[in-house]
Amino acid sequence: MSDFTEIWVYLSSSPLLHLTLTLIAYQIGDWAYKRSGGLAVLNPVLLAVAMLVAVLLITDTDYGTFFEGAKFVHFLLGPATVALAIPLYNQLEQVKRSLPALLSSLALGSATGALAAIGIAWALGAGPTVVASIAPKSVTVAIAMGVSAEIGGLPSLTAMLVLLTGITGAMFGPALLHLLCVRDSRAKGLALGAASHGIGTARAVQIDETAGAFSGIAMGLNGLLTAAMLPLIWRWLF
Amino acid sequence: MLWALTALLAFQLAGEALVAWLQLPAPGPVVGMALLFIALIIRGGAPKALAETSRGLLSHLSLMFVPAGVGVTLHLTVLADSGAVIGVALFVSTLAAIAVTGLAMTWAMRLSKRKGGQE
């Protein structure tokens, strides 16, 4: 037993352990998701996060130590976001053709998401800090944290809420859209990107390239729209 | 592969630099995406290696959110205090945003198609 503890202590001090655990956890999650035939509750991101949180709690590891290893995966988010320009370019003609429809639907959906979150949290008695932290949850994490700080929320709490929003949208969005008879890939992608930013886009990329491109646009435009409008709306509301 | 990855990182770097310089409200990678998009329009398409590397990266986009997701552990106490309220607000508002955007887009496209058909 003491041997095991010693080995564990030795391995935990190197980033290799948590990097490997992150990759293993995601692949187990992905395997379970595919094996179940795409069951929404078995979302690979959610499964991987749950497994890793359990490992950290059991081994009493702090998030900083974990991130020393996991940051190599986290870093790839940057170049992957840049890479979204390629599906966007490939779909340029489609995007141009539906630009008025795209912009009006996005503005409507973006306002619905933010106002519903503010309204529900406020009606259920959440404090002003929590409400301000929830308001920007539909946009990509870097923008959301900036907006949250501007309107009096907690940026680190917002970061977590942004992730939960993304996972919620990726889990239930496709089924909801199917239920509402939304069959067009452009509409599906736009909805996923507008409500659940990058995680929604990651899900939309799996539908097809059109959905991925429209999701990427929705994510980018909603980020800019929220950064410009939400602080103004907030001041007007409170 | 190596060349393509370097190109993606260079565009991200240019994006980050532009954000810092002009104090833009957008994250560096999103500006980097816009710059690459403009470059693709000027060049008239993506080189094969860049297209392949990008497809490979994007097929694992979900994985890249896992490290930040584990950051939930930092807020377990807030979740214990007002987890139910937060959960309901997130769940309902996210589904409402998806439903409204998806339906609005479907209807708006149908409308513009009908108009276009009369030409």
pLDDT band at A175 (very low <50, low <70, confident <90, very high): very high
What percent of chain A is helix, strand and coil (3-state, nearest 5)?
A: 85, 0, 15
CA dist., res. A122 & res. A130, Å (int): 9
CB contact under 8 A, B90 and A168: yes
Domain edge (last residue) among B33, B59, B85: B59
CA angle, A130 then B28 then A174, to 5°: 60
Residues of B in contact with A22 (CB under 8 A): 63, 66-67
Residues B81, B53: one domain?
no
CA angle, A154 then A155 then A156, to 5°: 95
User: Does residue B65 form part of some domain?
Assistant: no
Q: Which two tokens stand for residue A233?
A: 């709306």
The domain in which residue B1 lies consists of 1-59
CA dist., res. A219 & res. A225, Å (int): 10
Q: Chain B residue closest to A184 (CA)?
A: B106
**Residue B60 burial (CB count, 10 A):** 16
Mutation target vs A (from B61, B72, B91, B112; most A CBs, 10 A cutoff): B61
Cβ contacts of B11-15, under 8 Å, gap ≥ 24: B11/A82, B11/A85, B11/B35, B11/B36, B11/B39, B12/A78, B12/A79, B12/A81, B12/A82, B15/A82
Average pLDDT, chain A: 90
Q: What pLDDT is recorded for position B116?
A: 62
Q: What pLDDT is recorded for position B74?
A: 81
User: Does residue B64 form part of some domain?
Assistant: no
Q: State the nearest Cα–Cα gap between A28 and chain B, in angstroms.
A: 11
Q: What pLDDT is recorded for position B113?
A: 79
Residues B76, B34: one domain?
no
Say whether A127 sits in a helix, a strand or coil.
Answer: coil
CB contact under 8 A, A223 and B58: no
- Count the domains in chain B: 2
pLDDT at residue A70 is higher than 70: yes
Contact A19, A150 (CB under 8 A): no
More confident residue, A2 or A61: A61
Domain edge (last residue) among B59, B79, B106: B59
Residues of A in contact with B83 (CB under 8 A): none
Rounded to an integer, the average pLDDT of A72-86 is: 90
Q: What pLDDT is recorded for position A1?
A: 53
Chain A 170-209, residues with CB within 8 Å of chain B CB atoms: 170, 172-173, 176-177, 180, 182, 184, 186-188, 190-192, 194-196, 198-199, 201-203, 205
Chain A 12-41, residues with CB within 8 Å of chain B CB atoms: 22-23, 25-26, 30
pLDDT band at A147 (very low <50, low <70, confident <90, very high): confident
Q: Which two tokens stand for residue B118?
A: 């009369």
CB contact under 8 A, B29 and A52: no
Comparing A1-5, A12-16, B54-58, the range with the smallest average pLDDT is A1-5
Residues B2, B36: one domain?
yes
Residues of B in contact with A105 (CB under 8 A): 100-101, 104-105, 108
pLDDT tens-place string over residues A91-106: 888 888 889 999 999 9
CB contact under 8 A, B103 and A180: yes
Q: What pLDDT is recorded for position A65?
A: 93
User: Does residue B21 form part of some domain?
Assistant: yes
Residues B15, B51: one domain?
yes
User: Does residue B53 form part of some domain?
Assistant: yes
CB contact under 8 A, A134 and B89: yes
Domain edge (last residue) among B59, B86, B102: B59
Residues B2, B52: one domain?
yes
The radius of gyration computed from the CA coordinates of chain A, to the nearest angstrom, equals: 19
Q: What pLDDT is recorded for position A146?
A: 80
Residues B98, B53: one domain?
no
User: Does residue B55 form part of some domain?
Assistant: yes
User: Does residue B94 form part of some domain?
Assistant: yes
Residues B82, B55: one domain?
no
CB contact under 8 A, B30 and A80: no
User: Does residue B44 form part of some domain?
Assistant: yes
Comparing A35-44, A49-58, B8-17, the range with the smallest average pLDDT is A35-44
User: Does residue B76 form part of some domain?
Assistant: yes
Whether residue A59 lies within 8 A of chain B, CB to CB, comes out as no
Whether residue A84 lies within 8 A of chain B, CB to CB, comes out as yes
Residues B54, B77: one domain?
no
CB contact under 8 A, B25 and A224: yes
Q: What pLDDT is recorded for position B50?
A: 95
Residues B1, B49: one domain?
yes
- pLDDT by residue for chain B (119 residues), tens only, comes to 799 999 999 999 999 999 899 987 677 888 898 899 999 999 998 999 999 999 999 888 889 889 988 888 887 777 778 889 999 999 999 999 999 999 999 999 998 877 765 43
